[in-house]
Structure 1
Amino acid sequence: MRVLVCDDEQLARDRLKRLVDKIENAEVVAEAGNGREAIIEAQSCKPDVVLMDIRMPEMDGMEAAEHLSKMDNPPALIFCTAYDEHALQAFRVHAVDYLLKPVNAADLTAALNKAKTLNRIQLAEISGEVSEDKPRRRGHISARTHRGLELVPVNCVRYFLADQKYVTVCFSEGEVLIDETLKELEAEFGDQFVRIHRNALVALNFIEGMEMATAGHHQVRLRGVDERLTVSRRHVAGLRRVLQNL
């Protein structure tokens, strides 16, 4: 069994590696200090199981797990946590494997023996329930491309553009397609993006202005984007109010 260990504390990673080394037919093939590193390592070393800390800088374990679930062959996930009893109940309800810190050998062995992959619905539900104050929000958008699972920082996204069943994500390095809906993206990132059309959300931080186009139509200018995006008539007034408050 190939194991990837992800924890932002080196001492915690070292402890888990020592425990795994003592388990027959299990080996640590990679380690990571945060969720983003775990995704990169998982794509290169193809682990069977990821031992995932939850509270980590840059990208936490819940977000990393959601992205990992989109891989062609996602690894099984075991969360390592110091959460209290109330939060742990959420893990149990959704049948999510977890280990309480400090992890002991017997619990780790049992968890590895029954480790399983988790779907995105499970992960979304558990994520909402263990949030301490406000709902979690991703820091990255993930897309399956010919390069594998590609991570796009949300603060680099210029706009989301819907076209039939996919959404195009335009960001500083290019474009990728995702299978999420604008409604879902607007609900999650509504304070960072504004709807300008039934098929488009644009990033507030990249808006340079709105201008009149031909035949009375309006367009929006975005920093770093050559093309102009159409603003539907029903969204002109709302966008104008937003721009006044920027």
Structure 2
Amino acid sequence: MRVLVCDDEHLARERLKRLVEKTDGCEVVAEAANGREAVVEAQKSRPDVVLLDIRMPDMDGMEAAEHLSKMDNPPAVIFCTAYDEHALQAFKVHAVDYLLKPVNAEGLQGALSKAKTLNRAQLAEIGREVSEEKPRRRRHISARTHRGLELVPVDEIRYFLADQKYVTVCSAEGEVLIDETLKELETEFGDQFVRIHRNALVALKYIEGMELATAGHHQVRLRGMDARLTVSRRHVAGLRRVLQNL
């Protein structure tokens, strides 16, 4: 069984790696110091299981589990955490199992054995539960592309643009498509993005201003972009108020 170890503490990673290597049929194929690294490394090493800490910088384990669940062949997730058992009840649907720190050999072997018995359909079902719950705001948006699962930092996103079933995410690195709705994104990121049209959400931090274009239409200028985005008539007054308060 191929295992990826993720913990922001170096000593904790080393201890988990030693325990995994002592478990029959298991090998450590990669390690990571935060959730973002775990998602990147998982695509490279294709682990069967990810041992995942919860509290980590940049991207925590809960968000990482959600992104991992979107992989074509998602790995089983086992949380390794210092949370007490009452708090852990809330995490059950996100993982195959969980272990309290300090992790011992017997507990790890039991969790890995449990993960080994799961089939792809069961892992996919766990992934759906992760995606549906979304306990708090993400720091990254994940998108499936021809390069695999790409992570786009929310702070770098200029705008979301809806087009039929999909939403285009535009950032400094280019564009990707995601299978989410503008309504969901507006609910999650409403204090960072403003709606300027029924099909567009724009990042407040990148708005330079609003201007009147030909035929009486208003447009938004975005920092670092030549393109202008159309503001619908019904959103002009609201956007003007928002910009006055920036």
Same fold (TM over 0.5): yes
In structure 2, the CA distance between the partners of 1:55 and 1:126, relative to structure 1 (3 Å rule), is farther
More displaced, 90-99 or 171-180? 90-99
Tell me, in whole angstroms, the C-alpha distance in 2 between the residues paired with 1:94 and 1:45: 21
Tell me, in whole angstroms, the C-alpha distance in 2 between the residues paired with 1:94 and 1:166: 25
Return the offset for 1:88. 1.4
Return the offset for 1:85. 2.9
Return the offset for 1:36. 0.9
**Secondary structure at 2:225's aligned position in 1?**
coil
More displaced, 84-93 or 43-52? 84-93
Residue deviations 1:22-73, cap 9 Å, x none? Answer: 1110011111111111111111110000000000011111111111111111
Q: How does 1:86-125 map to 2 (within 5 A)?
A: 86-92=86-92, 96-115=96-115, 116=118, 117=123, 119-124=126-131
Return the offset for 1:120. 4.0
Contact 2:65 2:77 in 1 (8 A): yes
In structure 2, the CA distance between the partners of 1:94 and 1:236, relative to structure 1 (3 Å rule), is same
Flag as ranges the 4+ runs of structure 1 deviating above 6 A.
none
Q: How does 1:211-226 map to 2 (within 5 A)?
A: 211-226=211-226
**Secondary structure at 1:106's aligned position in 2?**
helix
TM-score, with length taken from structure 2: 0.93
Contact 2:65 2:94 in 1 (8 A): no
Residue aligning to 1:56:
56
Tell me, in whole angstroms, the C-alpha distance in 1 between the residues paired with 2:93 and 2:48: 24
**Secondary structure at 2:83's aligned position in 1?**
coil
Residue 11, structure 1, aligned to residue 11, structure 2 = yes
Return the offset for 1:152. 0.6
Return the offset for 1:75. 0.6
**Secondary structure at 2:40's aligned position in 1?**
helix
**Secondary structure at 2:138's aligned position in 1?**
coil
Tell me, in whole angstroms, the C-alpha distance in 2 between the residues paired with 1:214 and 1:29: 58
Residue aligning to 2:203:
203
In structure 2, the CA distance between the partners of 1:195 and 1:127, relative to structure 1 (3 Å rule), is closer
Tell me, in whole angstroms, the C-alpha distance in 1 between the residues paired with 2:39 and 2:91: 22
Aligned partner letter, 2:129: Q
Return the offset for 1:86. 2.4
Tell me, in whole angstroms, the C-alpha distance in 2 between the residues paired with 1:82 and 1:17: 18
TM-score, with length taken from structure 1: 0.93
More displaced, 94-103 or 29-38? 94-103
Tell me, in whole angstroms, the C-alpha distance in 2 between the residues paired with 1:86 and 1:23: 28
Residue aligning to 1:179:
179
Aligned partner letter, 1:156: E
Residue aligning to 2:160:
160
In structure 2, the CA distance between the partners of 1:23 and 1:99, relative to structure 1 (3 Å rule), is same
Tell me, in whole angstroms, the C-alpha distance in 2 between the residues paired with 1:126 and 1:81: 20
Contact 1:49 1:76 in 2 (8 A): yes
Quote the sequence identity (%): 81
**Secondary structure at 1:55's aligned position in 2?**
coil
